[in-house]
């Protein structure tokens, strides 16, 4: 039986994937979306690989139980271990890293920066794929930021908190801009996309690549090309599950400007 009326699944370690959700709502307003954010264990980027794999497999299982028609691994950190999880789902899986690589290669210039979590940086997936798929002269500088995702997760909308986010951005990205002379930067963590306007203000000449936009475009062409768009007309709704605080997710969903959020539910966290 066709799954075309089933939801699109989006997962992330926390609220960062709201950046992907927002882009999907913009391009495919008719789709129902099921979101899972592992608020109890965010940030993932400072965990060891085996913990990230265990937590990610837990979320993949959740998505399979809910029969999503396509799974978007919004989280770049989880995208680095997706190969160790795909056996759990029967639907196509789109990952953030490939989207970021495609975005950077289509018009990013010769000196490309990538900012990400420490884990994503340590995997070197971005530099490897960019070098393999890009032109010979391409120079890639990757940087792992231990505090940034967590600062964004808990400080959106707070003046003082966002000042700390800006300070951290200046420190982490400033070096890539001033010393490495990067022309474009991949926002290699979904949380950074949530503050992309601030990043652009701090570094106005830098071209920013947001994998969330590329993921939504890929999803739209996949669903349309495979007769998998939802039937029945009307706008779709969003259901959010989190292992974190429902109250905090409600606040963040509003701050990010998500539309048609029908329910935000609590889900038991995996014990690690």
Task: List contacts with ligand DGL (CB under 6 A).
Answer: 12-14, 16, 42-45, 75-77, 117, 120, 149, 189-191
CB of 2 to ligand DGL, least distance (A): 31
Structure tokens at 188: 């290699």
Which residues have a Cβ under 8 Å from the Cβ of 179 and sit 6 or more positions away?
none
Is 265 a known active-site residue? no
Length in residues, the chain: 272
CB of 19 to ligand DGL, least distance (A): 9
Q: Which is nearer to ligand DGL, 4 or 217 (CB)?
A: 217
Please answer whether residues 16 and 120 qualify as being in contact, where contact means their C-beta atoms are separated by less than 8 angstroms: no
Q: Where are the extended beta strands (E) located within the chain?
A: 8-12, 33-37, 70-73, 93-95, 111-116, 139-144, 184-188, 207-209, 238-242, 261-266
CB of 151 to ligand DGL, least distance (A): 11
Q: Which is nearer to ligand DGL, 148 or 228 (CB)?
A: 148
Q: Which is nearer to ligand DGL, 53 or 75 (CB)?
A: 75
Check 145, 185, 189, 265 and give the catalytic one: 189
CB of 5 to ligand DGL, least distance (A): 29
Strands 93-95 and 33-37: unpaired
Q: Which is nearer to ligand DGL, 6 or 19 (CB)?
A: 19
CB of 46 to ligand DGL, least distance (A): 7
Exposed e or buried b per residue across 10-29, where buried means at least 16 C-beta atoms within 10 angstroms of its C-beta: bbbbbbbbbbbbbbbbeebe
Q: Which is nearer to ligand DGL, 119 or 203 (CB)?
A: 119
Is 123 a known active-site residue? no
Structure tokens at 134: 């890009």
Burial of 100 (0-12, 13-18, 19+ CB in 10 A): buried
Active site residues: 75, 189
């Amino acid at each position: 039986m066709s799954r075309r009326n089933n939801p699109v699944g989006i997962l992330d370690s926390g609220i960062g994937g709201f950046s992907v959700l927002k882009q999907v709502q913009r391009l495919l307003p008719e789709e129902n979306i099921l979101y899972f954010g592992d608020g109890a264990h965010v940030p993932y980027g400072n965990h060891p690989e085996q913990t990230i794999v265990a937590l990610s497999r837990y979320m993949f299982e959740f998505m399979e139980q809910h029969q999503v028609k396509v799974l978007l691994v919004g989280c770049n950190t989880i995208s680095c271990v997706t190969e160790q999880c795909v056996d759990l789902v029967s639907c196509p899986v789109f990952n953030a890293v490939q989207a970021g690589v495609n975005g950077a290669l289509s018009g990013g210039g010769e000196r490309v920066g990538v900012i990400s979590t420490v884990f994503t940086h340590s995997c070197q997936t971005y530099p490897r794929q960019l070098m393999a798929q890009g032109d010979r002269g391409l120079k890639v500088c990757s940087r792992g930021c231990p505090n940034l995702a967590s600062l964004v997760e808990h400080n959106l909308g707070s003046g003082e908190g966002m000042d700390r986010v800006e300070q951290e951005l200046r420190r982490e990205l400033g070096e890539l801009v001033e010393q490495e002379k990067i022309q474009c930067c991949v926002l290699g963590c979904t949380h950074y996309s949530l503050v992309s306007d601030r990043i652009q203000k701090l570094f106005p000449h830098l071209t920013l690549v947001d994998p969330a936009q590329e993921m939504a475009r890929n999803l739209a062409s996949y669903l349309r090309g495979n007769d998998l768009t939802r039937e029945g007309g009307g706008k779709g709704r969003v259901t959010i599950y989190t292992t974190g605080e429902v109250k905090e997710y409600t606040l963040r969903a509003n701050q990010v400007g998500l539309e048609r959020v029908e329910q935000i539910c609590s889900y038991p966290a995996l014990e690690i």
